[in-house]
Amino acid sequence: MLALLGTAALVLVAGAPWVSPAAAGGKNLTSPQNVEVCIIDDAFTLKWDRSDESVSNVTFSADYQTPKMRNWEKLPGCQYITGTMCNFSSVKLNVFEKIKLRVRAEKGNETSPWHEVGSFVPYRKAQIGPPEARLKAEDKAIIVDISPPGTKDSLMWATDRSAFTYRLVIWENSASVDERTETVYPGGKIYKLSPETTYCLKVKAELRLQRRVGSYSPVYCINTTVENKLPPPENIEVDAKNQSYVLKWDYTYENVTFQAQWLYAYFKKILGNHSDKWKQIPGCRNVKTTQCVFPQKVFPEGTYLLRVQASNGNKTSFWSEEKALDTEIKTAILPPVISMKSISNSLQIYIGAPKDTENKSVSQAYVLTYEIIFWKNTSNAERKILQKKGDFVIPDLHPLTVYCVKARALVEGERWNKSSVFSDTVCEKTKPGNTSIAWLISGVCTVVFFIPAVIYVVKHLLGYIKYVFFPSCKPPPSIDQYFSEQSLKNLLLSTSEEQTERCFIIENTDALVTVEETNQVGEDHKKYSSQTSRDSGNYSNEDENSGGKTSEELVQQEIL
Amino acid sequence: VIRKYFWPICLVGLFLTSVLSQSCDLLYVHLNRVTWQNLKLLSHMSNPFPVECLKEKKAFELPQEILSHTQPVKRHIEEAFYEISSQVFNIFSQHACKSAWDEKHLKQIQIGLHQQVEYLERCLEEEEKERDRETLLNNLKLRRYFNRLGNFLKDKKYSQCAWEIVLVEIRRCV
């Protein structure tokens, strides 16, 4: 019986490995290993490793599934692959949606178990590929026309095409040590090059806000041209004056005329060739001076790019560097408005935006830093502080001093580095702070008001104490009348000197009573004093004891 | 139906700008103005909505939760706003846009949006912070949404109706 069971168990155990391969679909096929998805721009690649090198004639197939699909579906481009990678870019996937993949090995009718790749979002996994660049050379500059990674109809970067920024590395072909790295925008130019030199460069794209960097493009080389007789104008500046803009530039040669053009700045963000979209600035054509003035109305609100070119009859120079004009910022930075309040020994300063002639608050486009200069009215020593906030406190000043403050606004940006003129000077006197001076004043007040009061109180207290402890037992004046005799008077008055008296009771032998105690327990004292009072009644020493008695009684009262 | 959404979105817009103000000080003043101008421009661009296009209306499912976060991490909203502005600019800079709209309006919108994007970029670059998971998730949701809009336009071959519908949708989120 047991043997039977044992054999049955053995059979079952032996049978199990037969069963599972049948379910898995093959005796020896194992699923592929190290399955990876590699996405560069719009190229989707699935890679894996064979798990078993010895087995031949194995093919691989893959399936995919998106949340919208109910079942796994065959992945086009990845069916019965003999190699170890496949390209499934033909599938028009939604790159922002999650997708799952699985791969298995096949041989004839047998298949390995599926190896599943966890769900991922293609957009997140994608790597930024190399951009493409087309170069055009000038004498001292190269125009780099960069196309973003991926194709024009790229699905992956459809939402990012204008967000790419490009980092470019350029070097002279002969001396590859001198490398320069710059950030360029499509259609941008690299300046400060030497004429008739071969330059090589490579570009990579970045999505800065997503902290994603792409790979470098292949190296492109180009020769700069012979130096042009007429150099382009330099140091272009735009300033706002009254109701017009003044465009200024520098130029070394004489007897040339200039012309200036403008372009909407947003074109730089839109890909494509915009060289035909530059327009002439009115009043800036064939000007002989190195500046031209045009009304502000020419540029309604917005950001514009300006460029200038010199010409000399039949020869023209290359275009100058483009200067951006943001109408918001160029309507001069007006000086701020200061208002102050003094709080103890510090000043609270409010810096407000200036108001223009129409009393509207003028807004500034960029973050302003305020430079505040303050000094004591009497001295010339100025102190300078920089603040970004418009509401702050200058602490630790000398109290009761007049301080004067003036401020100006500074703007620092890549393109602008301007400051306004100084605001009007505002002066304010600081209040006395909680320093020693405050104590001094309060001390003086104390002296003035409280000491007489204290004296008054002390005086009364002394009088009271005197009354209690040192009573001036003057007999009433009427007694004087009756006791004119000096001896009697002496008797009466002499008792006032006596403070304490020792009384000895002759009759009563119970206890010896002394009257001069002051520190005895009240109860005892009561007993004694009652005795004494009784006893003193027996005495005829009334006169002698009267003072003592009064003092006794008083003491008694006191203690009780 | 469309008007019903206008006021809540306006309020969200106001909220957005007030949140942004804390980070970029005076930049906000300008950004606020530019954003409102853009909004006005957008509403002027197509008024009234052509009735025949109503039947082609589609629900694009704007991810409103991004804009109305209960725990508004300032940076998330800034970034969401930047993405939205950027994408809207993208939509309006497509070539096929030219045929649909009055050129003057289109230019103004493009200028305005470009400025909005530039200022936001400047603001965001000033605060160099790490992007956390939440931002990336929001980013993805926004992209999916704009992808839907873009695909809709492509499928309808950039017809006038398609543009009108997309315009209405954009008004909702700008």
Residue A314 three-state SS? coil
Residue A366 has pLDDT above 80, yes or no: no
Helix axis angle for A542-559 and A522-538, nearest 10°, is 160
Are A119 and A93 spatial neighbours (Cβ–Cβ below 8 Å)? no
Look at B139 and A265 and tell me if their CB atoms are within 8 Å.
no
Most B CBs within 10 A among A159, A267, A388, hence the mutation to make, goes to: A159
Pull the structure tokens for residue A426. Answer: 């505002």
Residue A233 has pLDDT above 60, yes or no: yes
Q: What is chain A's length?
A: 560
What mean pLDDT do residues A294-314 have?
A: 86
- The answer to whether A415 faces chain B, any CB pair under 8 Å, is no
Look at B89 and A368 and tell me if their CB atoms are within 8 Å.
no
Contacts of A269 in chain B (CB under 8 A): 89, 93, 114, 117
Instruction: Work out the mean pLDDT of chain A and round it to a whole number.
Output: 77
Q: What is the pLDDT of residues A336-355, one digit of tens each?
A: 888 888 887 788 888 877 66
Helical segments of chain B, H only = 2-45, 64-67, 74-92, 97-100, 103-126, 133-155, 160-173
DSSP string, A176-245: TT-EEEEEE-TTEEE-S--TT-EEEEEEEEEEGGGTEEEEEPPPEEEE--PPPSSPPPEEEEEEEETTEE
Selected residues 189-208 of chain A with any CB under 8 Å from a CB in chain B: 208
Look at A96 and B89 and tell me if their CB atoms are within 8 Å.
no
CATH class of B27-172: mainly alpha
Most B CBs within 10 A among A209, A370, A411, hence the mutation to make, goes to: A209
Contacts of B143 in chain A (CB under 8 A): 96, 123, 159
Cβ-Cβ contacts under 8 Å between A and B: the total is: 91
Give the rounded percent of residues in chain A with a pLDDT score beyond 70.
73
How many other C-beta atoms lie within 10 A of the C-beta of residue B169?
Answer: 23
Q: What is the pLDDT of residues A506-552, one digit of tens each?
A: 655 444 444 444 444 444 444 444 444 444 444 444 444 444 444 44
Look at B147 and A121 and tell me if their CB atoms are within 8 Å.
no
What mean pLDDT do residues A187-203 have?
A: 88
Higher pLDDT, A374 or A555: A374
Residue of chain B minimizing CA distance to A326 = B115
Exposure string (b/e) for A305-328, b if CB count within 10 Å is 16 or more?
bbbbbbeeeeebbbbbbbbbbbbb
Peptide linkage before B48 cis (omega within 30 of 0): yes
Pull the structure tokens for residue A293. Answer: 């003035």
Instruction: Give backbone dihedrals phi and psi of A466, rounded to 5 degrees, phi first.
Output: -60, -40
Higher pLDDT, A482 or A207: A207
Q: Using CA atoms, how far apart are residues A217 and A131, in angstroms rounded to an integer?
A: 6
Residue A231 has pLDDT above 80, yes or no: yes
> Domain residues of chain B, as ranges?
27-172
Instruction: Give the pLDDT confidence score for residue A515 in this predicted structure.
Output: 44
Give mean pLDDT in consecutive 10-residue pieces for chain B, a chain of 174 residues. 42 47 51 69 67 72 63 67 81 69 76 80 68 70 82 77 75 66
Give the rounded percent of residues in chain A with a pLDDT score beyond 90.
14
Contacts of A353 in chain B (CB under 8 A): 26, 29
Most A CBs within 10 A among B17, B24, B25, B98, hence the mutation to make, goes to: B25
Instruction: Give the pLDDT confidence score for residue A103 in this predicted structure.
Output: 92
Among the partner-chain residues A266, A361, A365, the one whose CB lies closest to the CB of B111 is A266
Instruction: Give the pLDDT confidence score for residue A516 in this predicted structure.
Output: 43
User: Closest Cα partner for A260 from A247, A250, A251?
Assistant: A247
Look at B114 and A123 and tell me if their CB atoms are within 8 Å.
no
**DSSP state letter for A360:** P
Instruction: Give the pLDDT confidence score for residue A46 in this predicted structure.
Output: 92
Q: What's the gap in Å between the CA of A414 and the closest CA on chain B? A: 10
Q: What is the pLDDT of residues A41-97, one digit of tens each?
A: 889 999 998 887 777 888 899 999 998 889 999 998 889 988 888 998 888 888 888
